[in-house]
């Protein structure tokens, strides 16, 4: 159904449009996945921004590729179908669907497009009809030109109700549009399709060149008015296929072409080209009859004299009245239909059908009688070819068939809906970011793998006291460059202390709170501080004096490590004496503990884990008596 397809392009080829649509589907799928994942991130972030507490990590998990989807299924397994994970399942289905769509974008583009045609006006170089030789114009053995012209007229669906005022090039796919043609000559025809003539017999006293006298049954098919030689000019010619059986000739097929038209010489009509022309075109087809060959005259010219009955005879005819309109712009630039050389027209019919007759008869195949429409179509082609024989190409607006690429309406609707959802979701996402810019920047809700890594690097470096200093800011890329993953600094710690099994994220940059005033007030990028520099004390031990009251508690002092992977302080009673408490600094430890203006971050041990003042959790690694140790506020 044509209504289900719309015109997409008249310039690009089908393969080019398919390639472009293939790319568009892939790009739209990629952007659509991103927009869909942003919806779920925005949904989780909105909950946090409304200050309704924390949300599960799974509420912030978004993904845009089948690899992440596989990781999700590998972790949750069948629990992905649980109610609280419905949003993850929805993401999984959408991601796999869009990924498959992008994979098969080529076949999708192929079935969504097709070739078509439409009509447009183009400037063509046409051959304008002209007087030329006037009534003496003729054309012989121009089979290629006639054949090209007839095929062009048939492709254009040019009617047989008018003569051509100009001839468009046969190499162009032009088509007939009625309002582009204002014919000088109009044609009204009566057609007689192939009719069988029974009992057709030749007396043998007329030559094969005189079909109307040779076969009275054929002559009687014409009205007496057509046979009035004072008014009409009668011309005929023929082509045949025969076998010799000396002295008789057995004729298998003969096509006679009989032309009767108003006599051009009467009242000099061949010079004025104004009067109405009456025309009768007939093809008489005779099969399987005999003829005698006789010599006449001194030249020895052979003449065939048919005799006896014809096994099968038939004829087809078209009788037309060709009328000119009253007024024309230029008498010399119109079709000249009053051609006096009717012998050339009859010879043209013979030359044009000669090949078809001999090809079919030579193979023993049936020879078809030309139809009335075919007979008049050749007349149209002959006249316009003769009338344009001396003309030059002239530009003219002509309707032509143009190849087009059509797009499925169903696919277009689906594409528009998907595009609307994609770009609408992207617009809502940017609106959400713009409206909540300050809160989002302060909370830093991670979105995607790299932002989760940056978040871990930030949380390992930025302390509560650092957050209070609004002037100190670093770009996300600085955190990403300075972040390190591993288990740093444990090679310098007492061998009796167990090293953590899990590697952690930490920052290789100088702590902000320990930075010099110039650094604190500077917004310079991290490249100004070498990431390879790790602060450390020159001595291997910091000696802290203790009072008499707490000297007996040294045997119970535990060691602590921060949960983010930095070993801030190690308290070792094995190397202590009665008056000092040795504290081993770690090569990559947080230097907040060395700042005399910031309290040391040794936590209380009445619970299995504590959180110090700067927001870091500590893991309790040894048994200790309940209560708070007094070392949390001892200045170094």
The pLDDT assigned to 594 comes to 40
The pLDDT assigned to 429 comes to 79
The angle that helices 66-76 and 86-103 make with each other, rounded to 10 degrees, is 150
Q: What are phi and psi of 420, to 5 degrees?
A: -65, -45
Residues ≥6 apart with Cβ < 8 Å to 114: 5, 14, 405, 406, 408
Give kind and range of the element (H or E) at residue 324: strand 312-324
**Can you tell me whether residue 156 is helix, strand or coil?**
coil
Low-confidence residues of the chain: pLDDT under 70: 1-2, 51-53, 245-248, 295-302, 461-473, 487-500, 508-636
The β-bridge partners of 185 are 324
CA atoms within 13 A on the CB side of 305: 12
The pLDDT assigned to 39 comes to 81
CA distance to 54, 230, 275, 323, 545, per residue, from 278 (Å): 100, 14, 10, 9, 136
The pLDDT assigned to 242 comes to 87
Can you give the pTM of this predicted structure?
0.63
CA atoms within 13 A on the CB side of 161: 6
Mark 499-534 as b/e (b = at least 16 C-beta within 10 Å): eeeeebbbbbbbbbbbbeeeeeeeeeebeebebeeb
| Cβ atoms of 280 and 317 closer than 8 Å | yes
């Amino acid at each position: 159904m044509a209504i289900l397809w719309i015109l997409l392009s008249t310039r690009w080829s089908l393969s080019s449009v398919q390639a472009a649509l293939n790319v568009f589907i892939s790009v739209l799928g990629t952007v659509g996945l991103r927009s869909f994942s942003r919806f779920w991130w925005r949904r989780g972030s909105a909950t946090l921004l409304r200050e309704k507490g924390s949300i599960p990590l799974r509420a912030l998990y978004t993904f845009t590729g089948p690899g992440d989807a596989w990781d999700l299924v590998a972790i949750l397994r069948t629990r992905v179908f649980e109610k609280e994970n419905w949003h993850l399942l929805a993401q999984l289905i959408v991601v796999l669907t869009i990924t498959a769509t992008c994979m098969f974008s080529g076949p999708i583009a192929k079935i969504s497009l097709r070739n078509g045609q439409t009509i447009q006006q183009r400037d063509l170089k046409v051959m304008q009809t002209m007087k030329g030789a006037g009534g003496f114009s003729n054309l012989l053995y121009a089979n290629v030109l006639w054949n090209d012209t007839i095929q062009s007229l048939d492709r254009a669906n040019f009617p047989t109700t008018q003569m051509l005022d100009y001839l468009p090039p046969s190499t162009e796919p032009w088509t007939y549009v009625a309002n582009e043609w204002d014919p000088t000559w109009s044609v009204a025809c009566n057609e007689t399709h192939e009719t069988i003539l029974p009992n057709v017999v030749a007396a043998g006293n007329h030559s094969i060149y005189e079909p109307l006298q040779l076969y009275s049954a054929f002559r009687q098919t014409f009205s007496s008015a057509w046979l009035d030689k004072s008014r009409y000019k009668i011309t005929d010619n023929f082509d045949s296929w025969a076998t010799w059986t000396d002295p008789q000739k057995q004729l298998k097929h003969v096509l006679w072409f009989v032309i009767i038209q108003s006599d051009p010489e009467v009242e000099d009509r061949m010079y004025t080209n104004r009067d109405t022309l009456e025309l009768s075109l007939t093809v008489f087809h005779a099969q399987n009859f005999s003829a005698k060959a006789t010599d006449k005259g001194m030249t020895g010219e052979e003449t065939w004299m048919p005799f006896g009955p014809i096994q099968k005879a038939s004829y087809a005819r078209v009788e037309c009245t060709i009328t000119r309109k009253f007024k024309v712009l230029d008498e010399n630039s119109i079709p000249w239909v009053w051609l006096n050389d009717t012998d050339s027209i009859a010879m043209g019919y013979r030359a044009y059908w000669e090949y078809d007759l001999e090809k079919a008869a030579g193979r023993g195949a049936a020879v078809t009688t030309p139809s009335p429409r075919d007979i008049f179509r050749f007349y149209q082609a002959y006249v316009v070819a003769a009338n344009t024989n001396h003309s030059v190409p002239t530009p003219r607006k002509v309707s032509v068939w143009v190849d087009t690429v059509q797009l499925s309406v169903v696919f277009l609707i689906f594409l528009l809906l998907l595009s609307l959802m994609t770009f609408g979701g992207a617009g809502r996402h940017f609106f959400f970011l713009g409206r909540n810019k300050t809160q989002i920047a302060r909370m830093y809700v991670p979105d995607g793998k790299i932002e989760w890594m940056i978040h871990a690097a930030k949380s390992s470096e930025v302390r509560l006291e650092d957050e209070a200093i609004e002037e100190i800011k670093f770009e996300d890329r600085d955190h990403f460059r300075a972040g390190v993953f591993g288990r740093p600094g444990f090679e310098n710690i007492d061998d009796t202390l167990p090293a953590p099994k899990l590697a952690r994220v930490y920052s290789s940059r100088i702590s902000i709170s320990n930075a010099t005033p110039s650094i604190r007030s500077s917004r310079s990028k991290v490249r100004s501080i070498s990431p390879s520099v790790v602060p450390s004390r020159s001595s291997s031990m910091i000696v802290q004096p203790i009072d008499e009251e707490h000297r007996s508690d040294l045997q119970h002092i535990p060691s602590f490590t921060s949960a983010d992977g930095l070993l801030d302080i190690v308290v070792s009673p094995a190397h202590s004496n009665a008056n000092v408490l040795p504290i081993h600094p770690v090569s990559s430890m947080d230097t907040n503990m060395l700042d005399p203006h910031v309290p040391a971050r040794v936590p209380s041990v009445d619970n299995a884990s504590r959180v110090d003042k700067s927001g870091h959790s500590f893991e309790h690694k040894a048994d200790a008596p309940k209560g708070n140790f007094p070392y949390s506020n001892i200045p170094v």
